[in-house]
Amino acid sequence: MIMDRNMESTSTSTFPVAVSCEGLTKAFGKGEARVKALRGVDMKVKNGELLMLVGPSGCGKTTLISIIAGVLRRDAGECIIFERDYDCMSEDETTLFRGKNIGFVFQAFNLIPSLTTAENVATPLIINGLKPRDAVRKARDILAEVGFDHRMMESLPTDLSGGQQQRVAIARALVHQPRLIVCDEPTSALDAETGRKVMELLQRLGRGENRALVVVTHDSRIFDFADRIAEMNDGRITQVVSSARELTTAQSKIE
């Protein structure tokens, strides 16, 4: 049963399914320019698992995770996150729910250029009511876990390499310990060793009771971290498997 919009979700309740999508559709544009990004997606993400979404560019992966994270609104179908439906929430309720429950690693990083690395990572904690000094302290702790030293923590985003900015974005998504972590190409700008360290951190914090992790990736080096792999093509989920070996069209669909 879907929770009423006035009922608060709790971190102590355990839901067997973190994400449930049924018949999910989304289109952009109008008339002849209309593009169907999602064409009836059915997908479930279980609590305690790391699900990877793979498929060719433009197949709808980023659109799907953006709807799951509450960044985009769906056109039709159902999308339930921890038994809550964004369409049954006001804008303020959606913002509050996302702030507490969702961590999003954007492919474009979306760091605030005027803030230091530590201040960027502390932002979700401050939004959730933590005092800035305490928030920055927690931010420093998680930045250390992704390999940042004190000097790098005080740097501005423009002083960092693309790979370093990627690690900041990941730390920011993890710092408030969200129940659902959604990542868009989290290792695309990282070397193999750093990528594996980041995935180990994501896996450790993202997989657990009442937690889940969804990762969009083209990076075959990290497939072994997945509990399941969902393959997308042309706005639909075409298969869900337990390992990359089971993907029947891996070479043609994974770039």
Q: What is the pLDDT of residues 155-170, one digit of tens each?
A: 999 999 888 998 899 8
- What is the per-residue pLDDT for 15? 60
Query: Residue 233: which CATH number?
Result: 3.40.50.300
The per-residue pLDDT for range 40-84, each reduced to its tens digit, is 999 999 998 999 999 999 999 999 999 999 999 999 999 999 999
- Return d(Cα 66, Cα 183) in angstroms, integer: 10
Question: What does the pLDDT look like over 133-142, one tens digit per residue?
Answer: 999 999 999 9
Number of domains present in the structure of the chain:
1
Q: Is residue 175 part of a domain?
A: yes
Q: Please compute the mean of the pLDDT values over residues 100-107 and round it to a whole number.
A: 90
**Residue 6 domain-assigned (yes or no):** no
Instruction: Name residues whose C-beta falls within 8 Å of residue 242's C-beta, 6 or more positions apart in sequence.
Output: 227, 228, 229
5 in a structural domain: no
- The DSSP code sequence of 198-216 is HHHHHHHHHSBTTBEEEEE
Does 7 map to a domain?
no
Supply the range of the domain harboring residue 62.
17-245
Residue 12 maps to a domain: no
195, part of any domain: yes
Is there a domain that residue 251 lies in?
no
DSSP letters spanning 84-102? EEGGGS-HHHHHHHHHHHE
For residue 62, being part of any structural domain is answered with yes
pTM of the model: 0.84
